[in-house]
Chains A and B, each alone.
With several copies, the nearest count.
Chain A
């Protein structure tokens, strides 16, 4: 079974050195994730794509202890649902990215801890392929 990314253009994949793919404003150096056509700071449309740093520090986090009701959630739902943690990781000087965290125990999560990008399975698509997505793990 193939591994397919959650969405095209979200991260480089397959890759030995996967990176989240953001964009940077040529006018004001604002960095966004994912990439977008216009700058949310200066509203100009001069964005160029930018692979983001692999490492950063945890800025805020919580846990998701019930299956997200918002359709379509691509992970396992119902009885197969497994609680997960989610947070913003600040990639130094670039951007804060919201991502799933590999550690789910509140006792082991702390703002400021160093984290690194990993690509992890999320669920299966209708063809039976494994969907992979981005997450961060302590390092």
Chain B
């Protein structure tokens, strides 16, 4: 199928801690950079989609950009927010309603694990009183079971985190830019067995923006349009092992990530064997390991060998989280998935600098996963 939607510009406000800047301010900076990258003006933008957790109305950014009266829809799907924003922007262009639009994500979180009222997630209050309403515990439990079932070692978790910190060192936009040894990672405080402190990402601040246009018009703006071949969002099915579940049924099925991934491959007419560069949701090192299999890049258990052999390094056959992923960048929820797109676009253009994957990568893949069991996948290509 011919691609219908192209990405012609990306922009990022670095991720980290920025006193004195609001989430909206960072969003405006990311938008300006994406517009400059695309070579278009704000007044050319015909519609926009915004995503944020902390900012109720990302559309308020128009006060900083220019009051042009466009349709500006705010979306939110937890950690998968960017996938919803991209999917909606792409849909708007596919419908022919508009030719040129923008997706932007922004957030500014306080430090520490996220907290919320369990009842707003259809969980009873006692679930929070008992100390169960916490996402990191789910990630510990999921990888702990996975390690037992598929023979993954603690060292593999440390290798994943160490790789992402290393990639962060060569990413000027990253939050954590210091290499950590596998020993330091393994020996940091245990948070949720087997996950230690340095195996987790942390909430932070930042913004990212993407300019999209109708595929046929992309060459008016750029010599290297990046086509958005698929962007899918799926919620959990009954029997999937997902976050914030006081109980699970006896029957088991695959998680939302597998569903979103399969749907995206089918829409794109692209398979995992065609993918050259990958961004996965590494809320923690274990998530990256599991997501390798859930997104079709290897059979369950093969990660142990692949990671030991360096296959997921920038120079490997399956380069994963080349910009350091969530572990090095932290997670401003609304922006995180568009950071992934930013990295893939630069990789496919060949402009990723020190992080450039060799061999002219042509196909990129991104995946998001978060509460309450929602996943998003996008596939991009030259």
Closest Cβ neighbor of B128 among chain A residues: A70
**B3, CB-defined interface residue at 8 Å:** no
Number of interface residues of B (CB under 8 A): 48
Given contacts A41-B249, A65-B190, A96-B250, contact A6 B130 (CB under 8 A): yes
Min CB distance, A20 to chain B, in Å?
Answer: 9
Which residues in B have their C-beta under 8 angstroms from that of A131?
A: 129
Q: How far is the CA of A36 from the CA of B63 in the complex (A)?
A: 10
Q: How far is the CA of A43 from the CA of B43 in the complex (A)?
A: 8
Summed over the interface, the residue pairs from A and B with CB atoms below 8 Å come to a total of: 147
Closest Cβ neighbor of B43 among chain A residues: A43
Which residues in A have their C-beta under 8 angstroms from that of B178?
A: none
Instruction: Mark each residue of chain B from 102 to 125: 1 if its CB lies under 8 Å from any CB of chain A, else 0.
Output: 000000000011111010000011
Which residues in A have their C-beta under 8 angstroms from that of B247?
A: 22, 32-34, 88, 95-98
Closest Cβ neighbor of A58 among chain B residues: B145
Contact (Cβ within 8 A) B246 A34:
yes
B residues 128-178 near A (Cβ < 8 Å) are 128-134, 137, 140-142, 144-145, 148
B residues 29-81 near A (Cβ < 8 Å) are 32, 41-43, 63-67
Given contacts A93-B250, A95-B247, contact A63 B131 (CB under 8 A): no
Closest Cβ neighbor of B65 among chain A residues: A43
Which residues in B have their C-beta under 8 angstroms from that of A33?
A: 246-247
Q: How far is the CA of A74 from the CA of B133 in the complex (A)?
A: 12
- Within 8 Å by CB of A62, from B41, B140, B241, lies B140
Closest Cβ neighbor of A73 among chain B residues: B131
**A13, CB-defined interface residue at 8 Å:** no
Contact (Cβ within 8 A) A43 B134:
no
Min CB distance, A41 to chain B, in Å?
Answer: 5
Which residues in A have their C-beta under 8 angstroms from that of B133?
A: 68, 70
Instruction: Mark each residue of chain A from 62 to 81: 1 if its CB lies under 8 Å from any CB of chain B, else 0.
Output: 11111111111111000000
Min CB distance, A121 to chain B, in Å?
Answer: 12
**B311, CB-defined interface residue at 8 Å:** no
Q: How far is the CA of A38 from the CA of B35 in the complex (A)?
A: 14
**B221, CB-defined interface residue at 8 Å:** no
**B28, CB-defined interface residue at 8 Å:** yes
Closest Cβ neighbor of B35 among chain A residues: A43
**A119, CB-defined interface residue at 8 Å:** no
Q: How far is the CA of A22 from the CA of B141 in the complex (A)?
A: 23
Q: How far is the CA of A7 from the CA of B192 in the complex (A)?
A: 26
Which residues in A have their C-beta under 8 angstroms from that of B137?
A: 62, 64, 86
Contact (Cβ within 8 A) B131 A68:
yes
Which residues in B have their C-beta under 8 angstroms from that of A70?
A: 115-116, 118, 128, 131, 133-134
**A94, CB-defined interface residue at 8 Å:** yes
Number of interface residues of A (CB under 8 A): 53
**B245, CB-defined interface residue at 8 Å:** yes
- Within 8 Å by CB of A10, from B126, B132, B148, B238, lies B126
Which residues in B have their C-beta under 8 angstroms from that of A133?
A: 126, 130
Contact (Cβ within 8 A) A7 B249:
no
- Within 8 Å by CB of B144, from A61, A66, A74, A84, lies A61
Q: How far is the CA of A59 from the CA of B141 in the complex (A)?
A: 10
Q: How far is the CA of A53 from the CA of B126 in the complex (A)?
A: 21
Interface core residue of B112, B129, B189 (most chain A CB under 10 Å):
B129
Contact (Cβ within 8 A) B144 A64:
no
Closest Cβ neighbor of B135 among chain A residues: A70
Which residues in B have their C-beta under 8 angstroms from that of A39?
A: 66
Instruction: Mark each residue of chain A from 102 to 118: 1 if its CB lies under 8 Å from any CB of chain B, else 0.
Output: 00001000010000000
Interface core residue of B28, B41, B133, B144 (most chain A CB under 10 Å):
B144
Which residues in B have their C-beta under 8 angstroms from that of A73?
A: 128-131
Closest Cβ neighbor of A125 among chain B residues: B129
Min CB distance, A132 to chain B, in Å?
Answer: 11
Which residues in A have their C-beta under 8 angstroms from that of B32?
A: 38, 45
Which residues in B have their C-beta under 8 angstroms from that of A100?
A: 130-131
Q: How far is the CA of A63 from the CA of B137 in the complex (A)?
A: 7
Contact (Cβ within 8 A) A69 B115:
yes
Given contacts A42-B43, A95-B247, contact A7 B145 (CB under 8 A): no
**B248, CB-defined interface residue at 8 Å:** yes
Besides A40-B66, A62-B195, 17 other CB < 8 A contacts? A33-B247, A37-B64, A38-B64, A38-B66, A61-B145, A62-B194, A70-B115, A70-B128, A72-B128, A73-B129, A73-B130, A73-B131, A75-B130, A95-B249, A96-B247, A98-B247, A111-B148
A-B contact pairs, 16 of them (CB 8 A): A30-B249, A34-B247, A41-B67, A60-B144, A61-B145, A63-B140, A65-B191, A68-B128, A73-B131, A95-B249, A97-B247, A98-B246, A98-B248, A100-B130, A111-B145, A111-B148
